Amino acid sequence: KSMLAWHYTTGRKLQYITASGMLIPGSTGIEPPDKPILWFSRNQHWEQTAGNACHDAGQPVRRLTLRETYAQSGGLVRYGCDVKRLYAGEALRLKAQVSREVWAALHAAGKQQQAYPAAWCGSVDSIPLEGLIVNIMSDSFKWEQFEAG
């Protein structure tokens, strides 16, 4: 049985993802020639960097916790993909054509948010939803199988 990596996202984005039929790499903060990365994490509970950014007046930007993001974003959703379909580390950096400097900055930012960048992996290609496992966070903060319909 192979290991799953998870793309963590919010309930608010579920309808758009379902409508498109695929997970699409996000281009936030990406400058060509860098390619957008569809991020996954081998963290089996939550990826800290998936939390929404919180801009409290006069405070440094921080990531909302799992519970805060859940409350603000119409719940939480995650998509499980076989890690063998994804790239990690240097292979992912090269695939996405990201400079060493930008990559180091991403890792530093992740660590500041109590994330574990070694668990990150991803794809530069869109991934069809077919064949992925979809979980929804329950009101008791447990991941449960999503039944469409």
Q: Which of 19, 3, 31 is nearest to 96 (CA)?
A: 31
Between the alpha carbon of residue 47 and those of residues 57, 79, 100, 144, the distances in Å are 25, 12, 22, 17
Segments in 3-149 forming alpha helices (H)? 11-20, 66-72, 89-95, 100-112
Residue 42 confidence (pLDDT):
96
Report pLDDT for 35.
87
Measured distance CA(96)–CA(40) in Å, rounded: 14
DSSP 8-state symbol, 98: -
pTM: 0.90
What contacts 30, CB < 8 A, 6 or more positions away?
Answer: 36, 37
- pLDDT 10s digit of each residue in the chain, 149 long? 679 999 999 999 998 999 999 999 986 666 777 889 999 999 999 998 898 888 778 877 788 889 999 999 999 999 999 999 999 999 999 999 999 999 999 999 999 888 999 999 999 999 999 999 999 999 999 999 987 65
